[in-house]
A and B are shown apart, each in its own frame.
Chain A
């Protein structure tokens, strides 16, 4: 068997050249004839209804084609159908209701961008204002559960209260906004009444297609979605949002293609966010550190019109070998846009609480927090009662501890100082489900020896095409230089959205399988059309370096794959395969794991926190590309630094309006906030999950990281910050 040659290598990104030359075309970079520009008008109240919209001045402004609102357009056909649901997506232009400040209520179309923006400022709206609630904590009596979020009990409820050593603590995390660098938006173009083409910021071209099919009641094949480059997503582009529907409706009304790019402040109010959460953990252990019970309760915000749930309490159920665990999770409606999964989603929120609580407990026990984690290591999944498909957490703890110099950590807080700075070390664990969905891939092999593989996935930044080329190269024996992977088109074979750390697992499996299918077909062509190879079989043949090699009676014979096509009069060989998981999930529990170590400095008098060094270890199975995988981990750490130290969307509850809706006031980490970061990989194949043995990585890169920082801050200062972000005011 030939050794894998490409998987694991630090191959440069296949789209790197396009990205460094400005050649990569994101949705807003597309120009076309007669393209019109749009600007949204957004509500300035947080709850109520629209009384009137005066568009006279706007319509009179130069270059304006139309101002579209619920007053002059019929609701999208799919919005007219009664669906019997009390809570559902915001149906833009369907009625006069206002659910949140900054909700889009009208769209202005003009022949230049400047004119659209100016005319939007002339639209005058009268509202009938109603009482709004944007303070989750003040509104927590309204908390409720949906069918998807049942209470969980293993063993005895609240058993931690019977333990010799106990801790109960509350933690809070604010609303965070994804804020990818690329602004959201869309170009919408109708060809006739039933054919729609969009160029859009989306993490799922098929998702968008299905959503548009439902909303506009036109068949899939009439909807084309382009999203070949996506300027970051972090979850915000996992669904269709009202601004897209508004633009599509406007494009139909004006009969011309229309482009909308929303503004940075609108990124806060109409494309989701990480919900705010309040959590309470009760945890108890024996004197020697054996966990007795964990209780984890959480409330988190949603919108007033739609339920949004995520897995905030899930980690507490299986992370540690603890006999008694109970969790409860509720959501609280407030007058903001519906949240959407943000990198690491609910698991990142939950991990901050659980991994902080474990750290707090370790000090009560007088135990090293790393030793406490190892002592309670769950060798099998205590929630599902199944073995893990792979779990190298203990190795990850060891590797990371050695790299960060964990033995330099003082056992007691406030014990180590360098000049004016207290020094501390923290550790935490991250975990996220390793998934594999269903996907299709197409392979097009041409007689010039080039292979194109296609799938309707997207790439929001991890380097999907590069990884897929590596997988295809090893599966076919064709050089990566002769392979192209194409994505981001709804016309390609079906694939799910890029989310939930599942793309390599899901789409990579389809790529692997379609390459196997391609080899089968090539072998068939060879045996049928080329006499020397009539006895070739999968058993006596291999595919290497672009050749079919058969060990025959007369020794080794080889023929280039392009010759097989030429000699069989086949200009192009095309195959498509659908690939999905088997029943492995019934036999195994599958997770990716991460361990984060942080060394911090905290200024003794100003409370400023500087992260000096980070070590993150990933147990995510086979690493397909060691370079891009490390980048993805570093990126998660940077996101985690934001969660830990800087990011908080502040609502002014008087108006229900964000007070810091820009990059000057909502602080995402910049170059100077980020430390040298060492990424270590376990890089051991998961034997079960998929042919590559790769588990996911995007989420675990961030999950748990904030707790590593807060634990390090406690180690440095003796101050436990339970409310993120850890700003200096909380430390002085």
Chain B
């Protein structure tokens, strides 16, 4: 088995070296076109500069604020929000789109931000939990979650709330059964489901614009 393992590793290595080789080549080409020779020379030695060539410019609106960003193509929207923009309200629970903790709105639709790349968001409007309230005034869903105790540890809560708002907007919050079905992409390990259903139902029945 260890032999299999090392074979696999060497395949992997080959692939990775190819990736690096490709990046070096394309970096060199871009560099030739755009960069003065002195920087080009430094780039060979300095990873920090080389890193810039691995990044792609992208602009998007996050919580109402236009952002010009430079991201690696492999960076997810979730990691961009959390690690680079310090919008840590959006949580990482699985990184596989299986738990919903990272749910945000992209152009008003609920999306697992761990399954979407940051570079794909050119021109999009992103709303995170930090952008849901109207200043100090909480969104009705946030108020309802507090009132009905729709959480315990609070970790899945930002995703639950973003998902719940979209659930109403989609027209999928007409009964407890329907809410349970259409909120099933958001796991709550503390098991606050009953209270979350009450919160969503109250906001839906209150008829406020969400």
Q: Which residues of A contact B (CB under 8 A)?
A: 12-13, 15-26, 28-29, 31, 37, 44-45, 51, 57, 61-63, 112-114, 118, 121-122, 124-129, 179-183, 229-234, 261, 263-264, 460-463, 627-628, 630-632, 634-639, 662-664, 668-672, 674, 676-677
Contacts and interface: CB of A to CB of B under 8 A. Distances in A.
Contacts of A663: 93-94, 96, 98-99, 187
B193 A671 contact: yes
A463 B180 CA distance: 24
Contact of A45 (B2, B20, B129, B189): B2
A584 to B, nearest CB: 30
Contacts of B51: 62-63
6 contacts: A19-B151, A22-B87, A181-B187, A261-B92, A632-B152, A670-B185
Contacts of B56: none
A655 to B, nearest CB: 8
B50 A62 contact: yes
A627 B156 CA distance: 19
Given A20-B154, A21-B133, A114-B74, 10 more contacts: A12-B149, A28-B88, A57-B13, A61-B16, A113-B83, A181-B189, A182-B91, A183-B93, A231-B155, A670-B186
A20 B145 contact: yes
Contacts of B187: 181, 663, 668, 670
Interface residues of B, number: 74
Contacts of B183: 671
Sorted nearest first, the 8 A-B pairs with minimum C-beta distance are: A22-B89, A638-B191, A231-B155, A19-B154, A461-B152, A461-B153, A635-B191, A29-B88
Contacts of A637: 191
Nearest to B179: A671
A127 B2 contact: yes
B158 A634 contact: no
Given A635-B191, A671-B193, A232 B153 contact: yes
Contacts of A12: 146-147, 149
B151 to A, nearest CB: 6
A631 B128 contact: no
B28 interface: no
B5 A127 contact: yes
Nearest to A677: B194
Given A63-B47, A181-B155, A122 B96 contact: no
A114 B96 CA distance: 15
Contact of A635 (B94, B158, B190, B197): B190
A182 B99 CA distance: 11
Contacts of B93: 181-183, 264, 663
A605 B51 CA distance: 59
Interface string B8-41: 0110110011001000000000000000000000
Q: Mostly helix, strand, loop or mixed at chain B's interface?
A: loop
A671 B180 contact: yes
B154 A671 contact: no
Given A21-B129, A181-B189, A461-B153, A672 B184 contact: yes
B181 A672 contact: yes
A627 B147 CA distance: 9
Contacts of A463: 152
A25 B83 contact: no
A124 B72 contact: no
Contacts of A261: 92
B75 interface: yes
A634 B188 CA distance: 12
B94 A264 contact: yes
Contacts of B132: 21
A631 B195 contact: yes
Contacts of A127: 2, 5
Contacts of A122: 12-13, 16
Given A114-B72, A181-B91, A264-B94, A460 B6 contact: no
Contact of A634 (B82, B89, B180, B194): B194
Nearest to B51: A62
B196 to A, nearest CB: 7
Contacts of B157: 19-20
A30 to B, nearest CB: 8
Contacts of A668: 187, 189
